[in-house]
Amino acid sequence: MTAVTATSVPRVRASRVQGSLQRGRRWALVLSYVFLVIFAVFFLIPPYYMIVTSLKSNAEVAHLSSNPWLLSQGFTFEHFRTLLKETDFLIYFKNTAIVTVCVVVITMVVSVLAAFSLGRMKFWGSGILATGIFLTYLVPDTLLFIPLFQIVRGLGLLNSYWAMVLVYPTLTVPFCTWIMIGYFSSIPKELDEAAMIDGANHMQMLTRIFIPVALPGIIAATIFCFTVSWAAFVYPMAFLYSSDQLVLTVGTVTSLIRADVYQWGMLMAGALLAAAPPLIIYAFLMDYYIAGLTAGATKG
Amino acid sequence: MVDVTHPLRSAAAPAAPAAKTGLNRLMRRRSSVAFLMCLPLIVIITSLVIYPAGYSMFLSTLNKAQTKFVGLDNFRFLLKRDVFLMVVWQSAIFAITAVLFKALIGLVTAHLVNNLPAKGQRKWRGMLLVPWVIPLALSTLSWWWLFDPTHSAFNYVIEAFGGEPIAWLGNPYWARFSVILVNVWYGAPFFLIMYLAALKSVPEQLYEAAKIDGANAWQQFIHVTLPMMRNIIAITVLFSLIVTFANFDIVQIMTAGGPRNMTHVFATYAFLLGIRSGDIPLGASVSLFMFPILAISAVFILRGVRKRGREIG
């Protein structure tokens, strides 16, 4: 930066340099905004188009010459009504909610316990285990769904959403444990020493000190877990098929598409409602969401 | 037991009385408690990740009815089929192109957002991350509708400018373009967030030193920003490479592998053979082809993450 010095002659020169710098900066800023708007349009086209289509009448959607990007004939909530009244959408919603809540609870209990133990207490092999957890996080669901299909079938859980409660933790537990290890290790050692001296046992240390102090991390992990289970697609696509067991992602994509006629207005209304819970959580807890996202590569 | 109502009280409480029973003593031993706390995790990972991974290798050596051991015949069979070779090729094109563009767009947008005054950054960041937040299956559905053969909203714009409509998902090459486009759209915001976090962690003094040495913006980028971000870029790219190679949602929903099997990737082809056609061993073999690329990336990611962990603290 240009330094504004005390003497008068250099100050004149400095301000001139500063002026051109400011002009340069303003140009850079304007250009930044221009390009950001272009990228934002690209990123927001699909959600925008979802909303527009879901509010159009069937006639307008089918009409070829009307502008698909605009609502030119007013809007209607007809599609939302059909979706909720005449389809199994609410069943999918309920199934997804049950599965997600169960998976979040299981994941958080398992990973907080494990992260506390791995990050703080150490035992024989704990270092290797922590590395192993990170590696299992990198194993994708598309590598596991075929053997898991066999296993789920063997357990008699094929075409039951409870199978999702069983298999989704493979998507959530490793990452949540990994980021919780990071959060727990960042808590100063003095805290647990103080608790030790007061005679707290390990469980009390966890519930009274570590969980309250690492609450931001726990919220971030919970949000991650929620969005992953809400959006999971490979496992339900492979393991579920009847309408009363489907979850939102698969139900909307496969089951709402009836016969040969795509009811795009209703499909988009369904996609919109199905995407709403993660979007709402994101809107309110964005900072936690982002903290969880970036923690995987920086902590541990 | 001892008084625990004030666990943070700094005055030392009297030491706990000696444990009475053997179980009690075991419970008080630090390492056994630690192990017990890890047990649920170990059970989940062993039974739902490690066991299925091994089981998958076993399955891939069986015949379709799973009655006979056939050794490597499934792999040999696959490697002789043109469709499978195309799947390998398409997976590579899909993953490499998509990751390249995601990384580029992420880097550019991260810099643009970082240029803005601090007040507005939050708003823009929040808006640009939306594609990552919408469940991929659902956003892909809306992309499918955008690419609809008769009602494509993109074709409406193209025709309004006097162009020829494009068969986005009907023409195999455009279909390949479309699935990659959707993947870039979905993944670029993740890169943006990672890079933005990394940009914030570059010490300001380094830029000041570079400016004093007379470096312009581009030179600052090459000599300060890039070296400082090298590690995080490597981690993000490798991570994204794994996720993209393993991607299923986009191709399955938009093209289901067609036209002429030209958009199939490993995951969708494994799904087609293993679940749809019921040849589980063959499907398992297809998905196992992902393993080498995943293993190599994983090793490098781990190295990068460890290094970054040390750099930060």
If asked whether residues B80 and B132 sit together in one domain, one would say yes
pLDDT digits (tens, 9 = 90+) for B176-229: 999 999 999 999 999 999 899 888 888 888 888 888 888 888 888 888 888 888
Q: Tokens standing for A127?
A: 């270092």
CB atoms within 10 A of CB B79: 13
Separation in Å, CA A42 to CA A67, A150, A204: 19, 41, 50
If asked whether residues B188 and B51 sit together in one domain, one would say no
User: What is the per-residue pLDDT for B152?
Assistant: 86
- Partner residue opposite B38 with nearest CB, options A114, A271, A289: A114
User: What is the per-residue pLDDT for A43?
Assistant: 94
Arithmetic mean of pLDDT over chain B: 85
User: What is the per-residue pLDDT for A265?
Assistant: 87
Q: Is the pLDDT of residue B24 over 70?
A: no
Give the range with max mean pLDDT: A12-21, B44-53, B291-300, B301-310. B44-53
Q: Report the C-alpha gap between A29 and A27 in whole angstroms.
A: 5
If asked whether residues B82 and B114 sit together in one domain, one would say yes
Q: Tokens standing for B210?
A: 């570079």
Do residues B59 and B280 touch, judged by C-beta distance below 8 A?
Answer: yes
Q: Is the pLDDT of residue A110 over 90?
A: yes
Is residue B311 very low, low, confident or very high in pLDDT (cuts 50, 70, 90)? low
Helix axes B172-200, A286-298, angle to 10 degrees: 90
Question: Quick check: is B220 in a domain?
Answer: yes
Structural domain that includes position B274 = 73-312
Q: Which residues between 234 and 273 in chain B have a beta carbon less than 8 angstroms from any beta carbon of chain A?
A: 235-236, 239, 242-243, 245-249, 252-253, 266-267, 270-271
Q: Report the C-alpha gap between A221 and A139 in whole angstroms.
A: 19
Contact residues, chain B, for A279 at CB < 8 Å = 130, 133-134
Mean pLDDT over A59-81 rounds to: 83
- The ipTM assigned to this model is 0.86
Q: Tokens standing for A65?
A: 């010459």
- Partner residue opposite A131 with nearest CB, options B136, B142, B302: B302
If asked whether residues B35 and B99 sit together in one domain, one would say no
Mean pLDDT over B240-248 rounds to: 90
User: What is the per-residue pLDDT for A298?
Assistant: 57
Work out the percent of chain B whose per-residue pLDDT is above 70.
Answer: 90
pLDDT digits (tens, 9 = 90+) for A229-261: 999 999 999 999 888 899 999 988 887 776 556
User: What is the per-residue pLDDT for B142?
Assistant: 93
Q: Closest by alpha carbon to B95, among B292, B213, B272, B266?
A: B266
pLDDT digits (tens, 9 = 90+) for B271-294: 999 998 989 999 999 999 888 888
Q: Is the pLDDT of residue A35 over 80?
A: yes
User: What is the per-residue pLDDT for A7?
Assistant: 43
- Partner residue opposite B142 with nearest CB, options A49, A132, A294: A49
Q: Report the C-alpha gap between A12 and A3 in whole angstroms.
A: 12
If asked whether residues B31 and B160 sit together in one domain, one would say no
CB atoms within 10 A of CB B199: 17
If asked whether residues B144 and B251 sit together in one domain, one would say yes
Do residues A103 and A164 touch, judged by C-beta distance below 8 A?
Answer: yes
User: What is the per-residue pLDDT for A173?
Assistant: 93
pLDDT digits (tens, 9 = 90+) for B88-136: 999 999 999 999 999 999 999 998 998 888 888 888 988 999 999 999 9
Angle at B143 between CA B140 and CA B149, to 5 degrees: 125
If asked whether residues B157 and B293 sit together in one domain, one would say yes
User: What is the per-residue pLDDT for A3?
Assistant: 44
Mean pLDDT over B138-157 rounds to: 89
Q: Any idea what the CATH number is for the domain that residue B239 is in?
A: 1.10.3720.10
Q: Report the C-alpha gap between B272 and B275 in whole angstroms.
A: 6
Q: Which residues between 115 and 144 in chain B have a beta carbon less than 8 angstroms from any beta carbon of chain A?
A: 115-117, 122, 124-143
Number of domains in chain B: 2
Mean pLDDT over B133-146 rounds to: 93
Question: Which range (A47-56, A65-74, A175-184) has the least confidence?
Answer: A65-74
Q: Is the pLDDT of residue B10 over 80?
A: no
Question: Is the pLDDT higher at A263 or at A91?
Answer: A91
If asked whether residues B184 and B307 sit together in one domain, one would say yes
Peptide bond just before B259 cis, omega within 30 deg: yes
If asked whether residues B35 and B136 sit together in one domain, one would say no
Say if the Cβ atoms of B284 and A267 lie within 8 Å. no
Q: Is the pLDDT of residue B15 over 90?
A: no
pLDDT digits (tens, 9 = 90+) for A141-196: 998 999 999 999 999 999 999 999 999 999 999 999 988 988 888 888 888 888 88
* Domain residue ranges of chain A, discontinuous segments joined by +: 87-298
If asked whether residues B199 and B253 sit together in one domain, one would say yes
Is residue B308 very low, low, confident or very high in pLDDT (cuts 50, 70, 90)? confident
Say if the Cβ atoms of A298 and B138 lie within 8 Å. no
Give the CB-side neighbour count of residue B137, counting CA atoms within 13 A.
Answer: 26
If asked whether residues B223 and B305 sit together in one domain, one would say yes
If asked whether residues B87 and B39 sit together in one domain, one would say no
Give the CATH architecture of domain A87-298: Orthogonal Bundle (1.10)
Place of tokens 């996202």: A293
User: What is the per-residue pLDDT for B214?
Assistant: 86
DSSP notation for B136-175: HHHHHHHHHHHT-TTT-HHHHHHHHTT-----TTTSHHHH
Question: Is the pLDDT higher at A263 or at A221?
Answer: A221
Question: Quick check: is B9 in a domain?
Answer: no
User: What is the per-residue pLDDT for A295?
Assistant: 78
Do residues A220 and A291 touch, judged by C-beta distance below 8 A?
Answer: yes
